[in-house]
Homo-oligomer: A and B are copies of this chain.
Amino acid sequence: VSRLKHWGWGLEERQPAAADVRAAAALIAARTGVAVEEVEQPVALEEVSVRAPRIAAPAALESVLTAATYERARHSLGKSYCDVVRGMRGQFDDAPDLVARPGDERELEAVLEWCAGERIAVVPYGGGTSVVGGVTPEVGGDYAGVVSLDTGLLSGVRELDAVSRAARIGAGSLGPALERELGAQGMTLRFYPQSFEFSTLGGWVATRAGGHFATLRTHIDDLVESVRAITPAGAWESRRLPASGAGPSPDRLLLGSEGTLGVITEAWVRIRPRPTRRASRAVAFDDFLRAAECVRELAQSGLEPSNCRLLDAGEAALTGAGDDSQAKLIVGFESAEIDVEPALEQALAICAAHGGEPEPERGADGAAETWRGAFLDAPYLRDVLVMAGLLVETFESAVTWDRFAALHAAVGSAVETALAETGVAGGRVHCRLTHVYPDGAAPYFTVVAPAARGEEVAQWSHVKRAASDALVEAGGTITHHHAVGRDHVAWYERQRPELFARLLRAGRAELDPAQIMNPGVLGL
């Protein structure tokens, strides 16, 4: 049976062989100049121990709850760099006491009711791919215990409205499964976060995930037609509507609630036919900031490309898209309905005016598809690099264009300084733009450095703190699409209106008087 590794990314059967690790690490070393050290082997599942559960399942919920070590270990951590390091070392200090896998809403309600009565914290868990501590059962307070609530069984495409192009989908559905089901009817949600393979629709909604489209419908927010959630006070379901002006949007309050208001169980989402026409090109620029000016013009042009990803030279080299001498822009359009060549032509004209040189065409599935393959494989690669002693982590933001260049400079310099302070040499920080808007851009930073073996968590925490301070001071958001979780709370609190936090706390107390839902997340 294929099942997920208890640490890091992917299925057990894709656990890399030592030779593969060395080969991959050598490749990255060649591309980045960061030296590779001895390969460390992960602590095997059989050697993992977790503390004894502090709570026991009541008889009525025995079939829904488990205390198995494998389940508790793999529900202990998300997928941030520190999570991967901890998992590799067999450190599952915050393991949940029990893991719940409700098969339907009735079982889910029963779990919440039991937990509220016993003052047990509940951490909703979709695919567990949080990189911000969103699923870590580190709840603080005086809870009797913690249950990780896995929505995996609440899955499947339940209804499809081909006329309105919408589908009702269980929140526990993983990306590939929901795409397979939609694809059987010629449709697609076309939402590809980097976690696509192992993340869920419910998780995307709860965390305002960012997807496939570089412009317009960048977040899952824009694809959601209605949401249903189970809260400790009962069910919350909005009406399916293409748009509405009736009061503040209830969906926009669940979007980003990160499990603090309840467990999202299903959503109606906007789907579309698979694109049949694509036009995409890679364009080279000598200078990243000049290329960013070009991207600004593209973002303000109304062309609304599906893809508009700008990689700086280092990022291009790291991902094999270039040779470390030029920034690369991948700009593309796609449609199932209309001709997309005219739009690409206009986009390339804008690029040319900014000194961008289009690379030779690579066919309909060219650069964009190559990029996407590497993009979705990156989390696998990271496990390997961690084993080889590399620190590899990413963080991201969004900022208005007037502040972009200053933010970019401040963050790069903060990371370099912080890396040096941790005593390592040869670290690198790269930047790409993942999503763009008329009024700003979402820069995404990748850091690669030699890890301080055994001190990785302290090392990365130091760098992360410096980077986050720089982001928020420069006017950015602490996250464009990675969510807040537990890791970003300190910076989130600096950008969030305090009265909004007070309103949310009061509102949450109304729905969850025992305050069991994902305590600690969002600083609530």
Contact = CB atoms under 8 A, between A and B. Distances in A.
Contact of A243 (B163, B209, B442, B504): B442
A386 B240 CA distance: 37
A25 to B, nearest CB: 32
A301 B272 CA distance: 10
Given A164-B400, A245-B207, A400-B161, A239 B502 contact: no
Contact of A337 (B165, B302, B339): B302
Residue of A500, A508, A510 ringed by the most chain B CB atoms within 10 A: A500
Contacts of A74: none
A236 interface: yes
Interface in A458-504: 475-484, 488, 492, 495-497, 499-500, 502-504
The 3 closest A-B pairs by CB, nearest first: A242-B440, A503-B507, A506-B510
Interface stretch (A28-36, A176-184, A417-425, A431-439): A431-439
Interface of A: 161, 163-166, 207-210, 216, 218-219, 225, 231, 233-250, 252-258, 261, 270, 272, 296-297, 300-304, 335, 337-339, 342, 346, 398-402, 435, 437-442, 475-484, 488, 492, 495-497, 499-500, 502-511, 522
Contact of A247 (B246, B492, B511): B492
A249 B222 CA distance: 13
Q: How many copies does the complex hold?
A: 2
Nearest to A238: B497
Contacts of A492: 246-247
A244 B163 contact: no
Nearest to A258: B247
A301 B480 contact: no
8 contacts: A163-B402, A208-B244, A243-B437, A244-B477, A245-B481, A249-B255, A270-B439, A302-B338
B243 A219 contact: yes
A280 to B, nearest CB: 15
Given A165-B401, A246-B484, 8 more contacts: A164-B439, A208-B244, A218-B243, A233-B499, A242-B437, A245-B479, A249-B255, A301-B338
Contacts of A442: 242-243
Contacts of A255: 248-249
Nearest to A349: B338
A237 B225 CA distance: 28
A245 B483 contact: yes
Residue of A254, A435, A437, A484 ringed by the most chain B CB atoms within 10 A: A437
Contacts of A477: 239, 241, 243-246
A504 B502 contact: no
A423 to B, nearest CB: 32
Nearest to A162: B402
A242 B342 contact: no
A246 B488 contact: yes
Contact of A507 (B218, B479, B507): B507
A339 B335 contact: no
